[in-house]
Structure 1
């Protein structure tokens, strides 16, 4: 990421990348990503970058140490991108997949690396217009990053369940809550990470995939958890882009809590949960299908639990490492999701009123410009006493 997290003396620092689609007044994709990115070159907040598809833009926060700073940066970046898009008659769409039927492909951003990817991977690349949210957490070294990955990988289905925000794709309901995750899994280097024995094991696996040309460079390590190639961070990349900046901040704090718990376990020499890759892949399929509106495997037991019960389960698990404003924000955010539903549920609810996907586009694009519900702020916690 442009400004990655680094280890701070007072705790784990965090940074967030978000990918967005650009649509016109009719809600259909517009190939103006490079132009919008160039228009933001003079903006001071974070970084804005091009993406593989010409209809996409990506933002990256700076290094953040607390929730207020992170949430503010996420909101400002969305507002800046939305304003630059609006100046061209466009809208910023925070959805994991395109909603409306399109008459032509999304188009590849004209950069040599992207053209090479399109030539090599064909429709896997050229049909890719999916948007995720990536969280970077500071790590002291790569070996610790591998150990953290082993400890938190069982929680990947929970993270996907919480953030599923792509039920529609090119004009139809896919039957999934995160079609982005299903679609992204077509890349040969994507999916859940294995349990790695060491940094050498990680590097040997990456090297073998490079030799097979299943990826063209190390930046194409697309596992749901990966070591950053450029920064001292661990990147968790399982999630759809969030409908709101508050949900993106919530995801980042939840990930930071899971990493903090993993570091405690590593220090106390507790073994990472043993979850075979094929089982984890199945759990992620279930999470992508159901989102918060269905059921998700409990990472502690493997049993299916209701999406309604998942926020409370996660809050209880994270409680030992939540303090101050982080605690208030996470508990409030999880309770808000329990009551209002996840992104996929809200998309379907917006469609149900008049059976128009343009209504869903209107609601999502409005989220990038309108003030957020005050429940997302740490200062106005509305969590019931039973959940505190």
Structure 2
């Protein structure tokens, strides 16, 4: 079975206003004193109101869940000690007039110099799933095979409906914002690992991007680890939702790497169809029809989820977990739906409280 690792990005918010606060360095120092956090598990991000965590290599989704709950709870305590709160929302729902400063590194200063407005608007947070692979050839096989499933993953994971105090009209505004970078969005298909390496190196050699770290496709081969990295999903409000997504990605990958994957072909889906399906998922999330890669068109959300459950059923326990998790999403809504619902009910204060409660150990907010 493929190994798993998850990275999550978080925002630091003012508990009274819900706006981002530039306290990442201070919270990292406080996190260093948390015995539940190991060295290197909390990392800086592009803006000073963001932090990232990375789990160890895991062999089961339950391991991912244990690490995420541990790290969210401990990092939430560190944030509280510094007078702010940890928020697993994929876009900042409220902002001040002034932009959050960029983190003071050579790389991040260079990115801001190249694209200042775009960098200032990167108050967005994602969830990245790393799947261990035996070689880069297998990674490219997975990249190609997972592409048609990305719209469904984006719809399921949508958790960024708000920006600058307003409803954006998109369930995943993060997908739209992040798609403005030069090499981003739906990846192309590749013939093999040699083709992948040649084409990605060409982008750097032609000075179109400074390095391969700025390849922001929704799936890419990791340059640091023997993994394929799936980056399409918004960070999730609850840790159990992150576990569901990790299990879903691994179950899809396991099925796609077996002869049992034979059936309706997704290889012939035109790239423009996948691009449009991805935009549709970012726009509507789970509130409308969703692109079904096996049927090749839009279908009711429940039907598309049934396709996903059936396709991953051979993945054993992961498949069982996916079915129960999707039923909960259908009952309660994904993060985008719950954010909008809470904003209508409880206003700004209620929404900020809900985000923080659901971020830290499923509602156990540190005090």
TM-score by structure 2 length? 0.93
Q: Pick the aligned partner of 1:368 from 325, 334, 359.
A: 359
**Kindly tell me: are residues 277 and 267 of structure 1, through their superposed partners in 2, closer, same or farther at Cα, counting changes over 3 Å?**
closer
Is the Cα–Cα contact under 8 Å of residues 309 and 319 in structure 2 kept in the other structure? no
CA offsets per residue over residues 255-275 of structure 1, 9 Å max, x none?
A: 000110111049989976222
Secondary structure of 1:292 counterpart: coil
Q: Which residue of 1 aligns with 2:13?
A: 23
Corresponding pairs, count: 360
Q: CA deviation at 1:75?
A: 0.7
Q: In 1, distance between residues paired with 2:212 and 2:260?
A: 27
**Kindly tell me: are residues 245 and 310 of structure 1, through their superposed partners in 2, closer, same or farther at Cα, counting changes over 3 Å?**
same
Q: In 1, distance between residues paired with 2:298 and 2:137?
A: 32
Q: Pick the aligned partner of 1:143 from 137, 148, 164.
A: 137
Relative to structure 2, which stretch is displaced further, 32-41 or 114-123? 32-41
Secondary structure of 1:143 counterpart: helix
Is 1:108 matched with 2:108?
A: no
- Structure 1's consecutive aligned runs of 4 or more residues displaced over 3 angstroms after TM superposition are 42-46, 211-214, 265-272, 370-373
Q: CA deviation at 1:333?
A: 1.0
Q: In 1, distance between residues paired with 2:7 and 2:97?
A: 29
Secondary structure of 2:257 counterpart: helix
Q: In 2, distance between residues paired with 1:107 and 1:359?
A: 27
Q: Which residue of 1 aligns with 2:280?
A: 286
Q: CA deviation at 1:12?
A: 1.0
**Kindly tell me: are residues 101 and 371 of structure 1, through their superposed partners in 2, closer, same or farther at Cα, counting changes over 3 Å?**
closer
Relative to structure 2, which stretch is displaced further, 86-95 or 114-123? 114-123
**1:45-194 → structure 2 map (5 Å cutoff):** 45=37, 47-194=41-188
Secondary structure of 2:302 counterpart: coil
Relative to structure 2, which stretch is displaced further, 35-44 or 78-87? 35-44
Secondary structure of 1:226 counterpart: strand
Q: CA deviation at 1:331?
A: 2.0
Q: Which residue of 2 aligns with 1:335?
A: 327
**Kindly tell me: are residues 55 and 17 of structure 1, through their superposed partners in 2, closer, same or farther at Cα, counting changes over 3 Å?**
same
**Kindly tell me: are residues 292 and 267 of structure 1, through their superposed partners in 2, closer, same or farther at Cα, counting changes over 3 Å?**
closer
Q: Which residue of 2 aligns with 1:380?
A: none
Q: CA deviation at 1:63?
A: 0.9
Q: Which residue of 2 aligns with 1:377?
A: none
Q: CA deviation at 1:69?
A: 1.4
Q: In 1, distance between residues paired with 2:298 and 2:155?
A: 12
**Kindly tell me: are residues 124 and 248 of structure 1, through their superposed partners in 2, closer, same or farther at Cα, counting changes over 3 Å?**
same
**Kindly tell me: are residues 100 and 372 of structure 1, through their superposed partners in 2, closer, same or farther at Cα, counting changes over 3 Å?**
closer
Relative to structure 2, which stretch is displaced further, 103-112 or 306-315? 306-315
**1:238-257 → structure 2 map (5 Å cutoff):** 238-257=232-251
Q: Which residue of 1 aligns with 2:230?
A: 236
Secondary structure of 1:195 counterpart: coil
Q: CA deviation at 1:188?
A: 0.6
Q: CA deviation at 1:223?
A: 0.6
Q: In 2, distance between residues paired with 1:254 and 1:50?
A: 27
**Kindly tell me: are residues 212 and 35 of structure 1, through their superposed partners in 2, closer, same or farther at Cα, counting changes over 3 Å?**
farther
Is the Cα–Cα contact under 8 Å of residues 311 and 338 in structure 1 kept in the other structure? no
Is the Cα–Cα contact under 8 Å of residues 148 and 266 in structure 2 kept in the other structure? no
Is 1:350 matched with 2:303?
A: no
CA offsets per residue over residues 94-130 of structure 1, 9 Å max, x none?
A: 1111101322102100111110111122222232111
**1:217-232 → structure 2 map (5 Å cutoff):** 217-232=211-226
